[in-house]
Amino acid sequence: MTDMQKKSFGTMLSPIRAGQHMLRNRVIMGSMHTRLETEPDSIARQIAFYAERARGEAAILVTGGFAPNAEGMFDPEGPRIDDPEDARSLRPICEAVQAEGSLICAQLLHAGRYAKIEGCVAPSPIRAPINRFVPREMTDADIRRTIEDFAKAAENAQAAGFDGVEIMGSEGYLINEFTVTHTNKREDEWGGSAENRHRFSVEIVRAVRERCGSDFLVIYRISAADLVEGGAPAEEIADLARKIEAAGADILNTGIGWHEARVPTIAYQVPRGAWRQAAANVKAAVSIPVVASNRINTPEIAEDILASGEADMISMARPFLADPHFVKKTREGRADEINTCIACNQACLDFIFSDRPVGCLVNPRAGRETEFRDSPTESPKKVAVVGGGAAGMATASEAAMLGHDVTLFEAQDKLGGQLNLAQAAPGKDEFNETLRYYGGQLQKHGVKLRLGQRAGSDDLTDFDHVVISTGVTPRIPDLPGIDHPSVATYAEILSGNRAAGDTVVVMGAGGIGHDVAEFLVTEPAETHNTDAFCETWGVDPHFTTSGALAGDPLAPKPSRRKVVMLQRKTSKAGAGLGVSTGWILRNALRKHGVEALGGVVYDRIDDAGLHIVMDGEPKIIAADTIVLCTGQEPERALAEELIAQGVTVTMIGGAKEAAELDALRAIDEGVRLAQSL
């Protein structure tokens, strides 16, 4: 029995009563935008998506947000539930989930001033910094009609077969906009005092309860920390929680941070469980179950929060993309087989922001369930996979799971390839979970591991299929002085084989350049300790102040080193970073005083430092260390040798295409190749 199997997750797995329902455990799959609603075969894909997560035994699944009326739509394509006929088309999704023993609740989300539509509405006509549309101030009649729209939407959901609804009252959407002075400047009965600002939320809950009866589950998602100036202090949040309970809600879920907040809330830079105290504050005010959410991604942290009494239930969203069977594996003593969400946002939020259906970096099946099969192959092959990085591990474990006879060669004495480097960046040690997961899968499915063995063509003669996933090597620019002792590759720095000095030049401002710069300036505690994280980003660790802020999230931080980051392009440094994490990286570097210079021409390196030309002027940037983050070249020596011998090989990952290689493409290619063997 492994250490993980010996651990007890008794609280998390124990039933709990909510309203008229006895829930099978204390885990909710939280609401996520999926964009599956607008895909071809929308209903079939949603059935596959939600039913798989119900088979994984989450007690309640909450859908992505449905607008209760046209002006509340997230964007012109966004899902809505104001038409009873349309709502009924969702019935097969509900039935599929319920057949697997889970409850399903439709989230009702009015986007308010975040709606990316002409004619969006808000309590007051104040534009959101993340939206170009200026909202129209709602009239008293608008407000009363919208309360009625929420009630009708809940009724439509009930008629379609949903077990309940979650009323979205957090993250800065319409309901949340009413509750705080940041966005509510009204002087009528819907603004001013807390009593007035809370009226809209309370009336919605009351109307939904009255319309749908006592056995319809009503979850209200309360903002437990707004993280914006003019946000609610803890006593107002507690006061609202009590009113929501009295109005008839069965469960209080918690949300953290408005979308316009300048504090990271769910990305990998946030310590696990960082927001648990915010949920505990809400729990202290009410007697209905309170749910903790955000940056909870393992059964250990979930159990710890529940067992310590800080919350009654846990909501996890992205962890159910990464592994739909999170709860089932935990119940079966297989928690060490969970594919853990690494909080990278690369294929979930970033896909949604680029109008693609939701996906997951560590689980290519997420949102694409109908494209993959789990049944064993009818024609098992002998497969060699050369290179044990993300692409190779994904290929080998998937192929072996499907019944192929797989041997994985890795020249290093450990698996992981570039993931071993990536995990050194602040917060990216979450990648160690991916390494743990694949290590376990390779063993479970009987992959023969040849670690510390650089495969040659002689080793590969006896296979039906040879997969080359030999990865990349750092690109070394052709520059006079490039072999100067001050020069190091990103691989040497991140692996710890070389230490950087006090003044550093980072050449290259792509994803790795930013990671290396952050690694060089950040104290490890800032991403692993909640108090240090709160201090860095200006958050009140007790969550009692207005908006739970205790300072300026962008205030400068002392840095371990002086770092200058350079690129030849004139575009903004980091323009290609992920939408949902790029701003955090850029702000973190700015806070730590990292200077980013573009439009640079590299000239040479010598004892004086890096010689460049900028705006036609020659300059010298003195540096103890110059780190090359100048891209990668594919490692194809073996592939070329084999091809020359007439051996058929399939190249994937960085070996196939080094440009823009990341773990997302590597794992996706690996799994899809294995499926096609």
Enumerate binding residues for ligand NAP (CB under 6 A).
475, 477, 507-515, 567-569, 576-578, 581, 629-632, 660-662
Query: Nearest-CA neighbor of 25 among 36, 14, 35?
Result: 14
Rounded Cα distance between 628 and 507, Å, is 5
Radius of gyration, alpha carbons of the chain:
26
Binding to ligand SF4 (CB under 6 A): which residues in 272-331?
Answer: 318, 321-322
In angstroms, what is the minimal distance from the CB of 273 to ligand SF4? 16
Could you say which of ligand SF4, ligand NAP, none residue 360 binds, taking C-beta under 5 to 8 angstroms by partner kind?
Answer: ligand SF4
Cα→Cα distances 81→367, 485, 525, Å: 21, 64, 45
In angstroms, what is the minimal distance from the CB of 359 to ligand NAP? 15
Rounded Cα distance between 656 and 654, Å, is 5
Asked if 341 touches ligand SF4 (CB under 6 A), the answer is yes
Could you say which of ligand NAP, ligand SF4, none residue 318 binds, taking C-beta under 5 to 8 angstroms by partner kind?
Answer: ligand SF4
C-beta atoms surrounding 624 within 10 Å: 15
Smaller CB separation from ligand NAP, 237 or 627:
627
Rounded Cα distance between 370 and 378, Å, is 20
Smaller CB separation from ligand NAP, 57 or 515:
515
Query: Nearest-CA neighbor of 668 among 394, 320, 324?
Result: 394
Could you say which of ligand NAP, ligand SF4, none residue 577 binds, taking C-beta under 5 to 8 angstroms by partner kind?
Answer: ligand NAP
Geometric angle at alpha carbon 434, from 573 and 13, rounded to 5°: 120
In angstroms, what is the minimal distance from the CB of 569 to ligand NAP? 3
Smaller CB separation from ligand SF4, 321 or 422:
321
Cβ atoms of 635 and 651 within 8 Å: the answer is no
443 — phi, psi (to 5°)? -70, -45
Could you say which of ligand NAP, ligand SF4, none residue 361 binds, taking C-beta under 5 to 8 angstroms by partner kind?
Answer: ligand SF4
Cβ atoms of 324 and 56 within 8 Å: the answer is yes
In angstroms, what is the minimal distance from the CB of 439 to ligand NAP? 22
In angstroms, what is the minimal distance from the CB of 344 to ligand SF4? 4
Query: Nearest-CA neighbor of 392 among 655, 181, 113?
Result: 655
Could you say which of ligand SF4, ligand NAP, none residue 94 binds, taking C-beta under 5 to 8 angstroms by partner kind?
Answer: none
In angstroms, what is the minimal distance from the CB of 314 to ligand SF4? 16
Could you say which of ligand NAP, ligand SF4, none residue 169 binds, taking C-beta under 5 to 8 angstroms by partner kind?
Answer: none
In angstroms, what is the minimal distance from the CB of 612 to ligand NAP? 11
Smaller CB separation from ligand SF4, 151 or 347:
347
Could you say which of ligand NAP, ligand SF4, none residue 522 binds, taking C-beta under 5 to 8 angstroms by partner kind?
Answer: none
Rounded Cα distance between 121 and 68, Å, is 13
Could you say which of ligand NAP, ligand SF4, none residue 631 binds, taking C-beta under 5 to 8 angstroms by partner kind?
Answer: ligand NAP
Asked if 577 touches ligand SF4 (CB under 6 A), the answer is no
Figure out which of the listed residues 343, 385, 435, 652 binds ligand SF4, where binding follows CB under 6 A: 343
SS3 for 613-664 is EECCEEEEECCCEEEECCCEEECCHHHHHHHHCCCCEEECHHHHCCCCCCHH
Smaller CB separation from ligand SF4, 19 or 255:
255
Rounded Cα distance between 68 and 461, Å, is 62
**Contacts within 8 Å (CB) and 24+ apart, 444-449:** 444/337, 445/397, 445/400, 445/401, 445/406, 446/400, 446/406, 447/396, 447/397, 447/400, 447/406, 447/407, 447/408, 448/406, 448/407, 448/408, 449/388, 449/408, 449/410, 449/415
Residues 6+ apart with CB under 8 A from 485: none
Smaller CB separation from ligand SF4, 345 or 423:
345
Asked if 346 touches ligand SF4 (CB under 6 A), the answer is yes
Cβ atoms of 317 and 31 within 8 Å: the answer is yes
Q: What is the dihedral of CA 204, 210, 211, 215, to 10 degrees?
A: 110
Query: Which burial class, exposed, middle or buried, applies to 631 when counting CB atoms under 10 A from its CB (0-12, 13-18, 19+)?
Result: middle
Figure out which of the listed residues 69, 170, 201, 345 binds ligand SF4, where binding follows CB under 6 A: 345
Could you say which of ligand SF4, ligand NAP, none residue 568 binds, taking C-beta under 5 to 8 angstroms by partner kind?
Answer: ligand NAP
Piece in contact with ligand SF4 (CB under 6 A), picked from 150-158, 217-225, 335-343, 468-476? 335-343
Smaller CB separation from ligand NAP, 317 or 507:
507
Smaller CB separation from ligand NAP, 508 or 547:
508
Figure out which of the listed residues 29, 115, 360, 610 binds ligand SF4, where binding follows CB under 6 A: 360
* 173 labelled catalytic: yes
Rounded Cα distance between 143 and 68, Å, is 13
Smaller CB separation from ligand SF4, 147 or 267:
267
Could you say which of ligand NAP, ligand SF4, none residue 487 binds, taking C-beta under 5 to 8 angstroms by partner kind?
Answer: none
Asked if 269 touches ligand SF4 (CB under 6 A), the answer is no
In angstroms, what is the minimal distance from the CB of 518 to ligand NAP? 9
Q: Are strands 60-66 and 103-108 parallel, antiparallel or unpaired?
A: parallel
In angstroms, what is the minimal distance from the CB of 112 to ligand NAP? 30
Smaller CB separation from ligand NAP, 94 or 584:
584
In angstroms, what is the minimal distance from the CB of 584 to ligand NAP? 9
Rounded Cα distance between 152 and 175, Å, is 16
The continuous run of DSSP H or E covering 184 comes out as none
Piece in contact with ligand SF4 (CB under 6 A), picked from 13-21, 171-179, 338-346, 496-504? 338-346
DSSP assigned state of 68: S
In angstroms, what is the minimal distance from the CB of 196 to ligand SF4? 38
Piece in contact with ligand SF4 (CB under 6 A), picked from 77-85, 223-231, 358-366, 529-537? 358-366
Going through 463-571 in order, the beta strands assigned E by DSSP cover: 465-468, 472-474, 487-489, 503-507, 562-566
Annotated catalytic residue within 173, 268, 438, 602: 173
Smaller CB separation from ligand SF4, 181 or 346:
346
Geometric angle at alpha carbon 173, from 251 and 170, rounded to 5°: 30
C-beta atoms surrounding 76 within 10 Å: 10
Figure out which of the listed residues 47, 348, 623, 627 binds ligand SF4, where binding follows CB under 6 A: 348
Burial 462-481 (b: 16+ CB within 10 A, else e): ebebbbbbbbbebeeeebeb
Asked if 361 touches ligand SF4 (CB under 6 A), the answer is yes
Asked if 352 touches ligand SF4 (CB under 6 A), the answer is no
Could you say which of ligand NAP, ligand SF4, none residue 103 binds, taking C-beta under 5 to 8 angstroms by partner kind?
Answer: none
Smaller CB separation from ligand NAP, 75 or 660:
660
Could you say which of ligand NAP, ligand SF4, none residue 500 binds, taking C-beta under 5 to 8 angstroms by partner kind?
Answer: none
Task: Give the CB-nearest residue to ligand NAP.
Answer: 510
The continuous run of DSSP H or E covering 255 comes out as strand 251-256
Which residues form the interface with ligand SF4 (CB under 6 A)?
318, 321-322, 341-348, 360-362
* Residues annotated catalytic, as ranges: 173
